[in-house]
Each structure stands twice: as structure tokens, then as C-alpha cells.
A and B are shown apart, each in its own frame.
Chain A
Amino acid sequence: MRIIEYSCKDSRDNWSFDKISFNGLNLLVGASATGKTRLLNTISNLALFITGARKSAATVWSIIFEAEGCRYQWDLATDDKTDIAGKVIKEKLIRTAGGKRKVIIDRTSEKFVFDGKELPKLSATESGVFLLKEESLIKPVFNEFQFILRRNFWSDELKSLENYHMSDQKIEKGLDQEDTLEKLFKMKVGLSYQLWLLKKFLPEKFIRITEYFKNVFPSIEAVSFEDLTKLLPNIAALKEIPAFCIKEAGNNKLIPLHELSSGMQKVLMVITDLLTLPKGAIYMLDEYENSLGINAIDFLPELLNENDLENQIFITSHHPYLINKIPVENWIVFHRKAAKVSVMQGKELARKFEKSRQQAFLQLINEPFYKEGIE
């Protein structure tokens, strides 16, 4: 899936995002508190609402996206300012394919029309896409919204990735088929087990990830998997618990994933994420650079450029190196007046910035729209 255009308004706190056009790679920049993270929250919340994982209230979305060769326009509104489970008061899903336009869902509080036919009353607190996910017209849309991965680092993201798993036949069954990446994506297992599964079922991916990881941290001589019960004698298990370990130059001790520095963990996680995204998946990375040294930051633009990733990616950053290395065309600059967020598209800035040889980041921080980020 690729999001082409997006706007959103949340009436509970009056925040609104004017229409934003997205590229394949999107670098969200702006002064602190201009709404970058909040934008990602609204997209995540939409995906969670659509997939039935969460209710919605008092929010209006308008989104245009492409999936499997079709273009969809979806307008969705939920009511109720106080309740976390508002009712859908408007939902319109239109598909355009091969120049033909088809209204798939046309719904109000009173009436629910699907593919031209009026339906009996259905749950008002669920999106039509969730309710009708088994229908062939809807299935592709529902599926696409399950492939959004959001990473942030203010929660226990890294802690949860440290979780180890016993090797499990049930999990591994079926992973040797074509859709291994899709299955792994949905599993959301700990990083160590994910890498172990990759080594077993997609060894080329595993080698690419670990080679990249070693390039970022040249002190790493080798990587391997050890049984955690042997590394930590106080742990007992019925089966092997594969623990991803590194061995550094001049030190014979194997260091398991949970003992790696948070910088190494973050880098390994982001490399693994980016190199194992299923086709069409969307990836969101929020202020990745926090508390990282430059060696753990500068690999990211290289990875994004070198691998010519086909997925849509959203990154928020304040880091000059990262910002300078990503083409201005891919920037989205945020500005907030009270609760209304507007953006300046990178293409607009690029026309101006290309006329000066000053570094792009320097021009950005001198740009009034950025500098006076909050009015």
C-alpha cells in the first residue's frame, strides 16, 4: 500500500492536519511539538480502527491510497466527543482501477450501502472495511492495513524485542512457503527468534542483515545463535531457546541480544525491519536518533538509498546528518498554528533550496515556516 494523500481532524482535542501528499520516502521535519508524532499516531489509529483492534471517536479521516494496482479514496468519520467508541457517521470507499470508478461503501448513520446494495443494520462502532473484510471487494483493503509497522522508542519497544522464544514447530510450520515475510511480519516475535527464523527460512536475508550490522559496528567479528539455557544456567526450558549473540574482537565472550547496548539493539532492529518488509508494507520510524552516536545514525540514509526500498517509509528526525542526507523532495516540513497543522511539501522547498549551495539542513533551519514552527 502507498498513502498518496491524507488529512485528519480529531474533534476531541481539535487537532487537524491539512491535506498532505506523501512520497515513497517521507522525512517529517519540524520544530518540536509541531505534530509529527501525532500525525503518525493518527495513521496508526486509523489502521487499528480498520483492522478492528481499536475503536475510534470524533475523528474524521480522508485518505487516498494505492493498493494492488488500484487507487482508493476513503472518507471516514466517527462521532461522540466523550466516548472512546464513537459511531461511524460517514464512510465512503471509492475504488478507481483502469479508469473505472466504483463506489464500494457509501454509509451514513442511517444507511449502509455496499456495492450498490443496502445492508441490514450492522455494528455502528466498527468500520465498514472491518465488518465486510471477507468480501472480495474489501479484502485487499483490509489486508493492506495490517501491514503497517510503527517503531518508536519512548515505550518498551526495545524491551519487548529482547524477548526470547523456545523454538516452536507450530510457528515454523508453513514458513517455508512464498509468503514467509508476510507471516513473519504478522507474528511479531522477539528479534532474536525472528533472526533465527530468517536464518532458517530466508538465509540470504539473514546474511544481508548481519553483514550490514557488522558494517555499522566493525568491532563485531561474528554473530551466532546459542541456546539461552546454556548461556544462563538458571534458565530451564524443554526446548532450545535460540539467542542471537555477537562476538567482538579481542573478547571471547559471546554477548547475547539482551546484553547489547541499546544503540546496537536499535540498529539491528531497524536493519532487520527494513530488509524484511513485505511488499507493500508501510514503515514508520519515530525519532530513531535519540541517544544514539553518529555511527549508529549515519547508516540509515545509506541503507535507504543503497537498497532502493520499494516500501513507503515515514521517518521523523531532528538530526542534521539524517536530514542532510535525505533529498529535500522527500521532506515534509511541519508548522502548527494552535491545533491546526499545516505542512510545506519538500518539492516546494527544493525549488528554492537548489538555488543555494548552503547545506540543506542549514537552509531548513533558516526557513521561516520551519523556524516559526509553532504560532
Chain B
Amino acid sequence: MNLYLVVEGAVVEVEAYKKWLTYVRPEMTLVSHISEIKDNNFSIISGYGYPQYYEVIKTAIEDVNRQGNIDRLLFIVDTESLTVAEKDREIRENVDIASCRADFRVVFQHFCIETWALANRRITPRQPQNQDLIEFRRAFDVLHEDPEELPDFPRRGWNRVKFAFRYLKLLLQERARLNYSKSNPEAILTEDYFNEIYARFKDTSHIRSFATFLDAVSTP
């Protein structure tokens, strides 16, 4: 089986799916360019953000159709301020999905990849000491509530995407002295980290959008 992934971000998603995909499908090997996809391969291209990624996905459909050996094309996007249904509608308005000869799947990161990363229960301290973290937790407790329900944080002028990023960054810093940034997502790439996200998905009713990733990479 061959997969081609168009992801939203330039670094975090590229690095995350390089690793995460092989945790689910260890038989698959990453190649650096679509033209190198042969057998049980996957390749990732960054769409470099909204709305540029719509041009990239349209061209990716052309490439996939021309190449002919790709089974699934994954379009991996943040929903940001939209619901999954609203984002789905937006994508259908912008992309001619029916023209894709491969199986076209959308992976909805609802509402960003940090939302899923916040689902790791091991990074959340029971008794936080950091004042910011206490404040964040008072606003929303990611350990007990669904990270997908994280609200905006108007006290600091943050929307929910920014709040998720700052929350995750602080948790990783406090708990494991790890630096997480948009250019260095190393902290969330390990198999242990991925397994914690998966466990939260399996054990609870939280981060339901994670299913769109698991379905998209499942065996036919």
C-alpha cells in the first residue's frame, strides 16, 4: 500500500507523521519525493499553511493521478476555529475530490495537532507549581476534559489554537524540561508519546478527530 500525505505545517506535521505513521504501519517506509513511491512507501509534502495548501492539494491530485501507484491521498489539516463539519464543507468547496483516482481522505486535526498532543496524560502534573500552568488548568483541565473542547483564552488575547500551543509548551517544559516549538517538535515524536495519545483516544471519549488519522492509515 502506498500513501501520499499533504500536511498543513512546514515542520511539526511533517516530522510528526514521518514517525507516527510508522508506529501504526511499521512495514511502510518514508521516501523523500512522490516520484520515489514504489511499494509500501509513503511521502509527505507540506502545503505551507492555509490557504496555500489548497493549491498544493489540487496539484497533488494531478500528481497522484499521473503516477497511478498511490492508493490513498491524505489531506491533513487543522480545523482551527471551525467545526469538523464546517472544515469538511470548506474543503469540498475548494477541492474536486471526485477527480482524485486514489482514495482521498481528510485527516482533521481538531483543532490543531497540539490538541492531540495535549491528550498525553503523563505530561500533566497532578499538582502544578508554575503559576501560569495553575492559571491554564483553572481555565481548562486537559487531564480530565477533552482537549478538543479547549476554549479561547481571552485574558491573554489567545484563540484556542494559540492557547493549545502555549499550554503544551508549558506542560512539556514543566514536566520533562523539554522545549517544544514550531521548529522543534522533537518532544511529541516518540513512540511512547504517540502511544499515550492513542491510549487516551481508546480509553476515553476524547480527541475523536484522532480517528480520522487512524482510519486514513488503516489497512484496506
Contacts and interface: CB of A to CB of B under 8 A. Distances in A.
Interface string B17-44: 0000000000000001111100000001
20 contacts: A353-B33, A355-B33, A355-B35, A356-B33, A356-B34, A356-B35, A357-B59, A357-B62, A357-B63, A358-B56, A358-B59, A359-B59, A363-B45, A365-B10, A365-B46, A365-B48, A366-B44, A366-B45, A366-B46, A367-B33
B21 to A, nearest CB: 16
Nearest to A366: B45
Interface residues of B, number: 18
Contacts of A117: none
A319 B59 CA distance: 21
Contacts of B46: 365-366
B60 interface: yes
B67 A358 contact: no
Contacts of A366: 14, 44-46
A33 to B, nearest CB: 14
A367 B56 contact: no
Interface in B46-63: 46, 48, 56, 59-60, 62-63
Interface in A21-67: none
A82 B60 CA distance: 54
A362 interface: yes
Interface string A341-358: 000000000001101111
Interface of A: 352-353, 355-359, 362-363, 365-368
Nearest to A353: B33
B35 A352 contact: yes
Contacts of A368: 32
A352 B63 contact: no
B64 to A, nearest CB: 10
A362 B45 contact: yes
B74 to A, nearest CB: 15
A357 B10 CA distance: 19
Nearest to A355: B35
B45 A355 contact: no
Contact of B32 (A355, A362, A367): A367
A21 to B, nearest CB: 22
Contacts of A352: 33, 35-36
Contacts of B66: 357
B217 to A, nearest CB: 20
A355 B67 contact: yes
Contacts of A367: 32-33
Given A357-B59, A358-B56, A363-B45, 20 more contacts: A352-B35, A352-B36, A353-B33, A355-B33, A355-B35, A356-B33, A356-B35, A356-B63, A357-B62, A357-B63, A362-B45, A362-B48, A362-B56, A365-B48, A366-B14, A366-B44, A366-B46, A367-B32, A367-B33, A368-B32
Contacts of B56: 358, 362
A26 B50 CA distance: 32
A375 to B, nearest CB: 15
Contacts of B44: 366
List the 10 closest pairs (A to B, CB-CB), nearest first.
Answer: A355-B35, A356-B63, A358-B59, A352-B33, A357-B59, A366-B45, A368-B32, A357-B62, A352-B35, A356-B34
A359 B62 CA distance: 13
Contacts of B59: 356-359
Contact of A363 (B14, B33, B62, B67): B33
Contacts of B34: 355-356
A98 B62 CA distance: 50
A358 B63 contact: yes
A96 to B, nearest CB: 38
